[in-house]
Structure 1
């Protein structure tokens, strides 16, 4: 049996509880709809994250393979000097957007892809493989930024789903049953009080009639 609320068994409390139950059921439906929508959105983004992660793994494998070839061709030291000569990456700006009412990151960044001349290292001491390797790692960076946004969105959606689920369960299994049990108790108590009043009035009437007859 659900635990009862600590209220007085009066008609006013009965009316208040009925109104609260109606509001609680509406709130439960809204939260359940929100939870379902969040779950659908989560799995849509989850599929995107899986695709991005798979693509990133392939691009990283290709980038390191090309880097190894470039290292064999130009040597470790010239390759390291070329890497140190590369101009700093473009800035990344992190803003926010809403997904189903949940604030999630919006990472705004220009593509990391550059032309050979924009990278900053000298062509004399390098080879085309260095350019190809740089290009592949720039593609990796573009994907990393996108994947970071998507995976952080998933984390926040998962947290919101859990919070919403706890609220739905609290309403469904604790709050609403407790209020309904209290309503049932108040009704029973009011019925008992009415019966007691009825019998009390009946006894009073009988006493008055007995005295009038005497």
Structure 2
């Protein structure tokens, strides 16, 4: 139903038609954005599942190797071996715009390019299980960073999808139908006014003809 404050004029009709055209285009763009966001979101969810399983297996294997290393080495030697790391890792965080969503982008670099620097100890008094544990953690680091990227991206994209969905629904079920009803209301009122004007003009014409006829009869 049209609102009571709608002014049934041609100027208001033109304004509402322009507003409806803009809302219709915006509705289509928002639907396209929502669909594309959903497509990319589902891709990230599938990748997240695969990566999480891989990372959990890698961490589990590293923990098992650490347990084996602890059982094969005295605690003093193990603690000294891991006390002074030789390698350092620097994390760089950036952002990437995906459908107006700022998702994180992580990159890392090491202090030295030598892969053997991940071992902060000599190999004479340590167990090979400790080497395997350190190596497995180093191998799983890129996947851990990618997993962090994906999980945060999924959170941000889910929030944007929900916000876009609310806007689409508001346009589709509230604003556009309301404008369409208001346009129909104005057109109906304008047609009524035009018919009323035509009827009045016809009555005036009849009165003028009648007066002219009586006048001609009087002086004939």
TM-score where L is the length of structure 2: 0.87
Q: How many residue pairs are counted as aligned between the two chains?
A: 213
Q: Is the 8 A contact 1:28 1:171 kept in 2?
A: yes
Deviations 1:19-63 (A, max 9, x none): 222221121111111111111111111111100000011111111
Instruction: Name 1:131's counterpart in structure 2.
Output: 131
What is the CA RMSD across the aligned residues, in angstroms? 2.2
SS in 2 for 1:85: coil
Matched, 1:34 2:15: no
Q: From the CA coordinates, give the structure whose radius of gyration is larger.
A: 2
State the shift of 1:123 in Å: 3.5
Give the direction of change, closer, same or farther, for the CA distance of 1:146–1:100 in structure 2 (3 Å limit): same
SS in 2 for 1:91: strand
Instruction: Name 2:55's counterpart in structure 1.
Output: 56
- Paired residues for 1:199-214 under 5 Å: 199-212=199-212, 213-214=214-215
- Paired residues for 1:130-149 under 5 Å: 130-149=130-149
SS in 1 for 2:90: coil
TM-score where L is the length of structure 1: 0.89
Q: Which structure 2 residue ranges, 5 or more long, are not aligned?
A: 216-220
Matched, 1:150 2:150: yes
What is the distance in 1 between the residues matched to 2:114 and 2:128?
14
State the shift of 1:197 in Å: 1.2
Instruction: Name 1:25's counterpart in structure 2.
Output: 24
Q: Which structure 1 residue ranges, 5 or more long, are not aligned?
A: none
Matched, 1:188 2:180: no
